[in-house]
Amino acid sequence: MNFPKANSFPTSVMRERSMGPNPLKLCEELLAYGDIPTSSVVLDLGSGAGLTSALLARECGLTVYAADLWSDPSDNMRFFEELGLSNRQIIPLKADATALPFATGFFDAVVSVDSYNYFGRDSEYLGTSLLPLVKRGGELLFAIPGMVRDCHDDLPACLLKSWTPEQLEYMHDMDWWRANIEQADGADILDMREMTCTCDAWADWIECDNEYATGDRAAVEAGALDYLNTIAVRLRRR
């Protein structure tokens, strides 16, 4: 897959602001599976340092609410302004995914890249906290870090080179996520699949010059990507 939208951002910007496997490539591939009309109002849930929000606004013509618990909204707004984006195109805010400050039916769609596994593992989260914020017929697109097959009972040594068993509890396979999502009342699963850009996204990440990327490098170089994938989920609110 080519990545014209992701590659419109300088490599230096991607490396400086990534918080995991290249979120720009993950976001672009994820969008290819969905159907979010231009000018839609979109929640970028777990937006991190703003890369995915910038892509959604600048490359897709969406109005984006960039919600993240750990990033600084002021820093993100400075980044958006450096790209020529205004506060009419992106609204950054600090928000807990389990207590989002929006009205019922506020969003046309939701996008979440490399973060849903932190809060969405609670099977009640989708139906109780997230779906009510989306208009009926609206799409929800998730790129979820996962496993090819759940292997928590016998974790491969390569995974343990970078992550503890407790950290790996955030990772599950497609069958696990399907069972989780099917418990939500009001969500139709339109598509679930392994994403094709996982290895490329990880390769970009471990080239970044920060302690987290450096820490992940040992596992990846030892063969972790034989066991890890990224799961694309496309839902529609009934």
Query: Which sequence spans correspond to the domains of the chain?
Result: 6-237
Per-residue pLDDT tens digits for 5-17: 999 999 999 999 9
What's the pTM value of the predicted model, to 2 decimals?
A: 0.98
Q: Which of 51, 85, 55, 83 is nearest to 68 (CA)?
A: 51
Q: Which of 138, 185, 145 is nearest to 42 (CA)?
A: 138
Q: How far is CA 221 from CA 71, 96, 184, 197, 201, in A?
A: 29, 34, 38, 17, 14
Within 8 A by CB and 6+ apart from 210, the residues are none
Q: Are 121 and 179 in contact (CB under 8 A)?
A: no
Residue 237: predicted pLDDT? 98
Q: Is 109 exposed, middle or buried (0-12, 13-18, 19+ CB in 10 A)?
A: buried
Q: 140 pLDDT band (50/70/90 cuts)?
A: very high
| Domain covering 6-237 in this structure, CATH number | 3.40.50.150
What is the token pair recorded at 232? Answer: 């694309």
Residue 1: predicted pLDDT? 86
Q: Are 54 and 28 in contact (CB under 8 A)?
A: no
What is the token pair recorded at 115? Answer: 């973060």
Per-residue pLDDT tens digits for 149-199: 999 999 999 999 999 999 999 999 999 999 999 999 999 999 999 999 999
Residue 80: predicted pLDDT? 98
Per-residue pLDDT tens digits for 79-132: 999 999 999 999 999 999 999 999 999 999 999 999 999 999 999 999 999 999
Per-residue pLDDT tens digits for 197-233: 999 999 999 999 999 999 999 999 999 999 999 999 9
In whole angstroms, what is the distance from residue 195 CA to residue 202 CA?
12
Q: Which of 225, 226, 230, 227 is nearest to 192 (CA)?
A: 230
Alpha helices in 6-146 (DSSP H): 11-17, 23-33, 51-60, 73-82, 116-119, 125
Q: How many other CB atoms are found less than 10 A from the CB of residue 29?
A: 23
Query: 106: helix, coil or strand?
Result: coil
Region 42-67: mean pLDDT is 98
